[in-house]
Amino acid sequence: MNTEASKKAFSEVQNFIPGGVNSPVRAFKSVGGTPLFIAEGEGGYLKDIDGNKYVDFVQSWGPLIFGHRDETIEQAVIDAVKHGLSFGAPTLAETELAKLVIEFFDSVEKVRFVSSGTEAVMSTIRLARGFTGRDDIVKFTGCYHGHSDALLVEAGSGAATFGSPSSPGVPADFTKHTLLAEYNNIESVKKCFVDSKDIACVIIEPIAGNMGLVPADKEFLHQLRELCDENGALLIFDEVMSGFRATLNGAESLVGVKPDLVTLGKVIGGGMPVGAFGGRREVMAKLSPEGPVYQAGTLSGNPVAMAAGYAALSKLKQNPRVIAVLEERAKTLVSGMQAAAKEQGITMQTDVRGSMFGFFFNDKEVKNFNNAASSDAELFAKFHAGMLDEGFYFACSLYETGFISTATTDEMVQETIEASKRVFKAIKDGK
């Protein structure tokens, strides 16, 4: 496969953009090689600037549930653009999309739109603190909630519960109120509540997608809800990634646990930059200008993004079986790859939630970040490179989730499985 144009483009861009990318994972650091520069997408495919074509299992990291250049969403964007790109004033499109989001999520009675998932989570944390009058928050190792200061933390030394900054540029004072717990381990959460009586909220990805696909146990989420209620803390479900991907009605509909607040993004923008947060009416009433908790954004509720999001969610509403169909397709994909790996003596753990799928080269079931981190990263890199050469574009990190779109056909899935057989054999043969 010829990728000379991408190599040249990557060499040039590093003179102008740090690391040559505008989001770190895109640099292919964990899998090696040169990132591909994309020229266009069409349906379930991507084409790079060298003219190579790939079956796309990234789908812009989740938003494109109907694939690239979906006609309905594309037309909605074109129509919106004809009226203007941005107004910085209310539009009817915001109301219509808000009503649609609220219709899907039982826990959401009011919603606020922003421009990214990071902004949604940052604002939700502030709202939770403003509502409870408390400062501390609990998050889980391996769950990613964007790059705001309070959430860029790592485990403290020894038995310390409180986190320390995981990035230069984040003052320790900004993370001293962030407590860390282990995913799917309720005892670690209980310890947080013992260590602090000032916890405003617990934030969790109920279906984690940033340590690979690792869903939270149903019983664990029920215990988390009880613990928050007992201690007067709010429970936040971060569904920026899983919202409208794992299920149309939120993780709450799968596990029977209603959060106080939910963060959303990706699918609700139909491919345009967007984020949102919402929840109980009494909590959202604390948000400015109705309440004292301040949040604002020039491009919040952007009319083009609202139009794309409304088109995407409307299509899902009209075709509620979409998620079930995509889930079966995703299960076929990962079970086929797992069988191909087994033929070569390679152990592969897999999971599927709706149109999301994940896999680990690991001998043990993955339930938390420590389990995920014990997976074979070198084998993943070899598999990623081999599949790329075969024309199949997977996420360039073992800690990322894969996505199926409606444009990903059964034929594409079977082609992927057959390619994985060749790649696993080549890896086993040392090629």
pLDDT given for residue 431 in this prediction? 74
198, pLDDT greater than 60:
yes
Give catalytic status of residue 144 as yes or no.
yes
Sign of CA pseudo-dihedral 121, 127, 132, 133: positive
Q: What whole-number distance in Å separates Cα of residue 405 and Cα of residue 330? A: 10
pLDDT given for residue 157 in this prediction? 34
CATH 3.20.20.60 fits 71-318, yes or no: no
Which among 123, 158, 77 has a CA at the least distance from the CA of 291? 123
Q: Do domains 4-69+321-428 and 71-318 have the same CATH topology?
A: no
Examine residue 320 and say whether the peptide bond preceding it is cis (omega within 30 degrees of 0): no
Is residue 325 left, alpha or beta, with left meaning phi > 0 and alpha meaning psi from -120 to 50? Answer: alpha
100, pLDDT greater than 60:
yes
Q: What whole-number distance in Å separates Cα of residue 6 and Cα of residue 38? A: 9
355, pLDDT greater than 90:
yes
Report percent pLDDT > 90 for the chain: 90
Cβ-based neighbours of 15, under 8 Å, separated by 6 or more: none
CATH 1.25.10.10 fits 4-69+321-428, yes or no: no
pLDDT given for residue 131 in this prediction? 98
pLDDT, mean of residues 260-279: 97
Largest CA distance in the chain: 65
Catalytic residue (one of 45, 54, 144, 393): 144
Number of H helices, E strands in the chain: 14, 18
pLDDT, mean of residues 381-385: 97
Catalytic residue (one of 183, 266, 382, 393): 266
Give catalytic status of residue 266 as yes or no.
yes
| Strand arrangement, sheet containing 45-48 | 38-42, 45-48, 53-56, 392-393
Query: Position 169: which residue type?
Result: G
CB 93 within 8 Å of CB 310: yes
Catalytic residue (one of 136, 238, 260, 351): 238
Give catalytic status of residue 70 as yes or no.
no
156, pLDDT greater than 50:
no
345, pLDDT greater than 90:
yes
pLDDT, mean of residues 18-30: 92
Helix (H) or strand (E) holding 386: helix 377-390
pLDDT tens-digit map of 280-332: 999 999 999 999 999 999 999 999 999 999 999 999 999 999 999 999 999 99
Listed by start position, the domains of the chain span 4-69+321-428, 71-318
DSSP 155: P
pLDDT, mean of residues 337-341: 98
